[in-house]
Every structure is written in structure tokens, then in C-alpha cells.
């Protein structure tokens, strides 16, 4: 009996399934930070909103801080997507976000005062609510670590971790939809309030008088907040799903950044959500196949706020600290959310390469290049020394990272002010050499270079 001839590749390579969703737009894009946050994602989101039909925040809460400069005016946003400035496109706060209602309404009021109407704001009914006890628990946990000589996480104290923890617990969680149904809210509070009062009284700092939460007061307060939110609240997942399946393009706005991702960041010094692009479909409620291209946003150097190891931090000598101070001042490296001065370091390409690979980025956005003007010699880490051997592997684990020493390459700096450059040709050779090294090391092309905070101060490559 003769056996039919099969080519080896036909028998070993599985055939891809036919796409089940041929209508998906080819232009849906996720924008993610590749470092420890504050890379300038808001500016890129704002630039790319023109090319998409809707914008969605898929993770985090009021811990994020995006500054957007439009026509010389600076807007600091925390919960509301940067796309809000484009009144004709839905700016969605997705189901994966945790919302502090008071904070969100304050942001809406602030924007309205400055002429941004927010009529395009859409809030998912499935997003979770940050309650007062989440913020208190966040604070108490940090204080507990300090009191026990453990480095605190350095959280923003916005209640992010405790709120996500309750979301996973389920029985002690409140969703935005619950604020619109006072009877449901009342039922939930009836069990949650006594539970939280018992736990918080037990862990409150010795000497502090914990004032227990009151069911009635909270019911009134949060039902009233729900009423104010009502015009914005809808089944955002259905809206996005319908858009995705009818070929509309969606811009996914990542908050925080890859190295703060709860699963893939420098654990435990991370936030509590999936802030890499891996979280985009889950946090927005659309299929994976909807996210067609991914842009990774990175600074031309490194910054970090909060605790945790940062291998290239500039803190080892007076000279290092002076360079860091200069970068901090020129780059306005003070937290948008908490005002804390950010820790500053040389560019860490071991970390960025890891993030780029994890997210599968198609292009890089290199931000704040202008801030490096005037630094005589630019140092870039492209390997670490771990246990006496060089490696370009990055292990997202704080303990491992503590044993990693950066190995640097040096590049001549540039002194010219580049804030008026609008093409690559206008950049000094030294800046272009620096950029080429970044592209080669990461293996991904740079698509945007930012040379100043304004939208116009951008070079599209």
C-alpha cells in the first residue's frame, strides 16, 4: 500500500485558522509605557486619536498621571483618557479600570472649566469603585511596612491595590453599576461596611482612633455620586465590542507601565493591574485580534517613582546626583499624581528590551530627547552583570534585580537645543547615533521622537 506523499512542512506546520473576525480594523493601536511610567504616553495618545474612532483606558485608576499640552495649555489627567480632548470620539473608561467617583467628577469639572465639555466621556458600568476604605487600607499597609523596617511599595495611596484585591474577592466589591441602583448598593453596603469596620479597626495604627464607616452616610454619598456619573455610564464593553466588530479602530491607552505590571513588572514593587499591552483586550473587553499594532513609549533616560530597585539610578556620587538634578528640572520630573520628585537614571536598555519583547511592540516612541541636551556624555546600559557574568536578560523580580549591576556604553552628548527640530535631519549627529543604538539594541524602529511637551514638538519617522 502506498502512502500519500506529504511535504515535511505540511505535516509539521499547523495551518492558521481562518480569522473569525475579518471586520476588525487594521488600525487599532495599543499605546504602552516600556519603563516605570510617566513616559509621555498621553502626548502620543493625543496625537494618534485623530487616526482612531474611539479611545479606551483599560487599567489602573487615579494612580496614573498623563499630561497633555494642547496649544500651549497643560492638562493633567488621571482617570479620564487623554483622548477626551477630541470631542467627536468616545473616550472610554473601560471595565478594567478602578474609579474613585469623586476624583473622576473633579476631573470632569476641572476640564469643563477650561472649555473641554466631556460629552464624549463613557464610563463602563462594570468598572470597580474605589471606596474610602481602600485608600485607608493602602495607607495603613504602607505604614505597617515602614514600621516593620520593610521598604514600602511607595504607592500613590489612591487605594488601587485594595480595590483590585476586593474585585478579586468579589463579595466585598462595588461596581459602578451598583451606584446607580440604591437598593443594590444598600444591600452590598450592609455586608461590606461591618466587614471593613472590623478589619480596619484591627489593623489601624496603635494610638489612632479609627472612625467606623456608617452604612447610611455612605449610601447617601455614593448614590448621589452615582447620579452625577449616570449620564456617562453605559455598557462600554458592548460599545467597544460593536465598534471592533464593525471595523472601527480603537486606541488603547495604557496607564502606568510595563515594569509596573502586576504579573510581569519588577514585583513586588509594581501596581495592581496588567498595564502592559497584555491587559488591553481584557481591560477593555474586546478580542485579542482587535489589537493590531502596539507602540511602546519610552523616555530617552529612566525615571521611577516609589520604591524598588532601579539599576541605572544616578545616585552613587555628587556628579551623578548633579546630572540627575539637571534632568529632573529640565524634564519636569515631578509626579503628575503625587508631586513626588522622580528618581532619575541612565537609559536602561536591558529593561526596555524586555518590555518591548513582552508587549511585542511594532514601533517605539522616544520621548523627552530634548531633556538630554547639555549632558556631556550619555551612558546607556545594554547588559547587566549578574553573578559575575554579563547578560542582556531581564528578570522581572525585585530580588534578582538587586543583584544586577549595569554595564554601560558611553555616547558623546549634544549641546544644541533641539526643541524646534521637526525632522530627523535637524537633529545633531550625536542624537541620531544615540537613537540608532536604541533601535539596534531593541530591534524595533523608532516611529516618533518627542523634542518638547507640545504636540507640535514631535518628529514622525
Q: Give the interface with ligand IMP as residue ranges (CB under 6 A).
A: 36-38, 63-65, 153-156, 158, 160-161, 255-256, 260, 269, 271-272, 305-307
Cβ closer to ligand IMP: 335 or 374?
A: 335
Rounded least distance, CB 75 to ligand IMP, Å: 16
* Known catalytic residue at 38: yes
Rounded least distance, CB 370 to ligand IMP, Å: 21
Rounded least distance, CB 157 to ligand IMP, Å: 7
Neighbours of 127 (CB within 10 A): 26
Rounded least distance, CB 130 to ligand IMP, Å: 11
Collect all residues with Cβ–Cβ distance below 8 Å to 412 and sequence separation of at least 6. Answer: 376, 377, 378, 430, 433
Of the residues 52, 66, 78, 264, only one is catalytic, namely 66
* The dihedral sign for the CA sequence 308, 313, 318, 324: negative
Cβ closer to ligand IMP: 153 or 451?
A: 153
Residue where the block lists cell 499547523: 14
| Structural contact between residues 236 and 285, judged by C-beta atoms closer than 8 angstroms | yes
One-character DSSP codes across 216-261 = HHHHHHHHHHHHHHGGGEE-HHHHHHHHHHTT--EEEE--S-GGG-
Rounded least distance, CB 304 to ligand IMP, Å: 7
* Known catalytic residue at 376: no
* Rounded Cα distance, 300 and 126, in Å: 37
Of the residues 38, 348, 370, 382, only one is catalytic, namely 38
Please identify the residue of the shown chain whose CB is closest to the bound ligand IMP. Answer: 306
Cβ closer to ligand IMP: 193 or 277?
A: 277
List b or e across 249-275, with b for residues whose CB sees 16 or more CB atoms inside 10 angstroms.
bbbbbbbbbbbbbbebbbbebbbbbbb
CA distances (Å), origin 202, targets 137, 140, 164, 218, 397? 11, 11, 21, 21, 31
Residue where the block lists cell 549634544: 414
Cβ closer to ligand IMP: 271 or 312?
A: 271
Rounded least distance, CB 297 to ligand IMP, Å: 12
Cβ closer to ligand IMP: 161 or 226?
A: 161
In angstroms, the first-to-last Cα distance of the chain is 61
Residue where the block lists cell 545616585: 315
Cβ closer to ligand IMP: 189 or 314?
A: 314
Annotated catalytic residues are: 38, 66
Amino acid at each position: 500500500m502506498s502512502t500519500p506523499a506529504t511535504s515535511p512542512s505540511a505535516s509539521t506546520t499547523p495551518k492558521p485558522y481562518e480569522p473569525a473576525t475579518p471586520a476588525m480594523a487594521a488600525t487599532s493601536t495599543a499605546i504602552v509605557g516600556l519603563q516605570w511610567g510617566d513616559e509621555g504616553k498621553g502626548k502620543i495618545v493625543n496625537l494618534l486619536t485623530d487616526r482612531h474612532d474611539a479611545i479606551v483606558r483599560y487599567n489602573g485608576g487615579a494612580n496614573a498621571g498623563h499630561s497633555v499640552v494642547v496649544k500651549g495649555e497643560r492638562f493633567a489627567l488621571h482617570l479620564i483618557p487623554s483622548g477626551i480632548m477630541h470631542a467627536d470620539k468616545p473616550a472610554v473608561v473601560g471595565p478594567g479600570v478602578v474609579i474613585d467617583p469623586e476624583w473622576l467628577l473633579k476631573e470632569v469639572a476641572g476640564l469643563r472649566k477650561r472649555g473641554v465639555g466631556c460629552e464624549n466621556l463613557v464610563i463602563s458600568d462594570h468598572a470597580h469603585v474605589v471606596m474610602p476604605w481602600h485608600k485607608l487600607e493602602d495607607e495603613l499597609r504602607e505604614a505597617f511596612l515602614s514600621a516593620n523596617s520593610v521598604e514600602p511599595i511607595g504607592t500613590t495611596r489612591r487605594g488601587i491595590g485594595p480595590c483590585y484585591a476586593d474585585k478579586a474577592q468579589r463579595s466585598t466589591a462595588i461596581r459602578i453599576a451598583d451606584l446607580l441602583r440604591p437598593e443594590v448598593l444598600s444591600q452590598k453596603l450592609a455586608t461590606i461596611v461591618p466587614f471593613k469596620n472590623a478589619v480596619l479597626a484591627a489593623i489601624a495604627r496603635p494610638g489612632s482612633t479609627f472612625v467606623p464607616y456608617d452604612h447610611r452616610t455612605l449610601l447617601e454619598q455614593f448614590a448621589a455620586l452615582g447620579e452625577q456619573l449616570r449620564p456617562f455610564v453605559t455598557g462600554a464593553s458592548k460599545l467597544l465590542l460593536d465598534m471592533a466588530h464593525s471595523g472601527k479602530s480603537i486606541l488603547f491607552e495604557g496607564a502606568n507601565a510595563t515594569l509596573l505590571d502586576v504579573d510581569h513588572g519588577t514585583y513586588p514593587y509594581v501596581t495592581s493591574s496588567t498595564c502592559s499591552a497584555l491587559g488591553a483586550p481584557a481591560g477593555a473587553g474586546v478580542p485579542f485580534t482587535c489589537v493590531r499594532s502596539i507602540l511602546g513609549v519610552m523616555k530617552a533616560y529612566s525615571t521611577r517613582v516609589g520604591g524598588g530597585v532601579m539599576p541605572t539610578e544616578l545616585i552613587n556620587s555628587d556628579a551623578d546626583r548633579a546630572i540627575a538634578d539637571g534632568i529632573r528640572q529640565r524634564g519636569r520630573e515631578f509626579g503628575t499624581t503625587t508631586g513626588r520628585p522622580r528618581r532619575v537614571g541612565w537609559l536602561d536598555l536591558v529593561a526596555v528590551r524586555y518590555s518591548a519583547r513582552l508587549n511585542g511592540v511594532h514601533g517605539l516612541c522616544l520621548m523627552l530627547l530634548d531633556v538630554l541636551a547639555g549632558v556631556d556624555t550619555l551612558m546607556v546600559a545594554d547588559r547587566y552583570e549578574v553573578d559575575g557574568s554579563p547578560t542582556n536578560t531581564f528578570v522581572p523580580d525585585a530580588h534578582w534585580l538587586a543583584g544586577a549591576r549595569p554595564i554601560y556604553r558611553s555616547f558623546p552628548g549634544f549641546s544644541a537645543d533641539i526643541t524646534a527640530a521637526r525632522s530627523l535631519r535637524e537633529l545633531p549627529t550625536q542624537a541620531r547615533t544615540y537613537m540608532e543604538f536604541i533601535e539596534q539594541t531593541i530591534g524595533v524602529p523608532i516611529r516618533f521622537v518627542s523634542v518638547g511637551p507640545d504636540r507640535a514638538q514631535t518628529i514622525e519617522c
